Structure 1
Amino acid sequence: MISIIIPAFNEEAKIGELLSFLKKHSEGQESEILVVDGGSSDNTVKVAEEKGAKVLKSPLRGRANQMNFGAEKARGEWLYFLHADTTPPPTFIADITKKIQAGFDCGCFRLAFDDRHPALRIYSWFTRFDLNFFRFGDQSLFVRKALFSRIGGFDHKLLVMEDQEIVSRLKTRAQFVIIKKPVVTSARKYQRFGVFRLQFIFAIIVILFYLKISQEVIAHFYKSFMVGSSY
């Protein structure tokens, strides 16, 4: 069984459409859909329940905590972590299953955006390469539950970069694969704050992370650029 785990926080605008898609394309498959809410103040929980997902309320906030909680409650041998604003290919379960049968214990998809901005198309193109600098949670992640547990799951101490950090650890224990099809993620933040501005900020965050700057400093840097922007 594949357990699809979706961390969510105030995602009422996106979660319903995603769950309808997942339900349609997982019908007849051995799977379950878990939405792990991080304390939403909107109708995320209501919409998710109406769409038939199993909704879990994380005792701790933060995406790493939400995903770890979902993994703990998941019944599947395989975990598939997916952001609420990201849509996998219609054949995603078959695509993952093929890689499992080929002997891979973990992997992700390539990335595409729902916006045709040239810079975003270039950024997406680089996600085909097996470089940690271009590995982010928007690409989703599948992993054998036993392997996930063995490495200790997502690092709950991380406020940012938890998706990239876990891939680094997974690669020390198993062969990681990038599925050649893309997931499609929302470009809403780029549209709101500006493509080049936001990409610059993300690049700085990655550099700060690898320089081992404290999570609090990185998070403050991110928030200081995001709040009040008119871009």
Structure 2
Amino acid sequence: MGISIIIPVLNEEKYLGKLLKHIACASGPTNVVEVICVDGHSKDSTKEVALAHGAKIISSERGRAKQMNIGAKNAKGEILYFLHADTFPPANFDITIIQAVAQGHESGCFRMKFDTKNPVLRFFAWLSRINHTLCRGGDQSLFIKNSLFKKTKGFNEDYLIYEDSEFIQRLYQQTRFKVLQKSVITSARKYREKGWLKVQFHFAMIHLKNYRGAGPEELYNYYHKNILT
């Protein structure tokens, strides 16, 4: 079973080269059939970095849901693996994913650790081992069989944020979602830039708003007002 890795990117020249090198070292020579970087019109050298490391580049409108859907549409692999540009998968992640799929898990993710010693962020990362939708997020990466992705129609492009969580909530309803025991390492850069307490509080509020029925526009407006500005 071949894996297509799909990475939505926008001005990620700082992290992307490190990630692509890491992917090559952390996986076998045959299991990963392609790495697709879907670029939302970067203004830096993201495209050049991707090509220099052997990745494919697809251009897209900006928006991670749109970018990931386009990547999936062009992917060849039987398994799709969605990865953020600042998230580093564990050694032999390809074998771990393939084994999980072979055991009947059509979708799943890894546990997560942040690249920080902040005790609060380390605690929230620890919660990623719990197999519940409240503990899921895109920073944990996501694997899914290509056939299931097509069946579920992929990411909802109405969501400019929270697209990963919304999709994973649907997957929980349709599959035996698997949380793998190994961990990805994710950058805490947003927490360092905006303040860990502020970001964690507002992400929690976004989760709460979603569970209380807020739609994609309300979630984005809250995110834009309280985190982006």
SS of the aligned residue for 1:111 comes to strand
Deviation digits for residues 146-184 of structure 1 (CA, Å, limit 9, x no counterpart)? 001001101111111111111111122221100011100
Q: More deviation in 91-100 or 206-215?
A: 206-215
Whole-angstrom distance in 1 between the partners of 2:118 and 2:63? 30
SS of the aligned residue for 1:175 comes to coil
Equivalent in the alignment of 1:41: 43
Equivalent in the alignment of 1:91: 92
Whole-angstrom distance in 1 between the partners of 2:120 and 2:172? 29
SS of the aligned residue for 1:172 comes to helix
TM-score of the superposition, structure 2-length normalised?
A: 0.95
5 Å-filtered alignment, 1:39-188, equals: 39-58=41-60, 60-188=61-189
Q: Is the 8 A contact 2:26 2:90 kept in 1?
A: no
Identity %, equivalent residues:
43
SS of the aligned residue for 1:208 comes to helix
Shift of 1:138: 0.3
SS of the aligned residue for 2:178 comes to strand
Residue identity opposite 1:142 in structure 2: F
Residue identity opposite 1:55 in structure 2: I
Whole-angstrom distance in 2 between the partners of 1:213 and 1:46? 39
Shift of 1:225: 2.1
User: Structure 2 unaligned runs (5+)?
Assistant: none
Deviation digits for residues 191-220 of structure 1 (CA, Å, limit 9, x no counterpart)? 111111110010011111222223223222
User: Structure 1 unaligned runs (5+)?
Assistant: none
Shift of 1:113: 0.3
Whole-angstrom distance in 1 between the partners of 2:212 and 2:80? 30
Q: CA RMSD in A?
A: 1.2
SS of the aligned residue for 2:54 comes to coil
Residue identity opposite 1:145 in structure 2: N
SS of the aligned residue for 2:174 comes to coil
Q: Is the 8 A contact 2:111 2:180 kept in 1?
A: yes
SS of the aligned residue for 1:224 comes to helix
Whole-angstrom distance in 2 between the partners of 1:216 and 1:119? 29
Shift of 1:25: 2.5
TM-score of the superposition, structure 1-length normalised?
A: 0.95
SS of the aligned residue for 2:5 comes to strand
In the comparison of the two structures, how many residue pairs are matched? Answer: 227
Whole-angstrom distance in 1 between the partners of 2:205 and 2:145? 32
Runs of 4+ in 1 over 6 A off after TM superposition: none
Shift of 1:26: 2.8
Whole-angstrom distance in 2 between the partners of 1:162 and 1:226? 17
Whole-angstrom distance in 1 between the partners of 2:180 and 2:215? 33
Q: Is the 8 A contact 2:28 2:94 kept in 1?
A: no
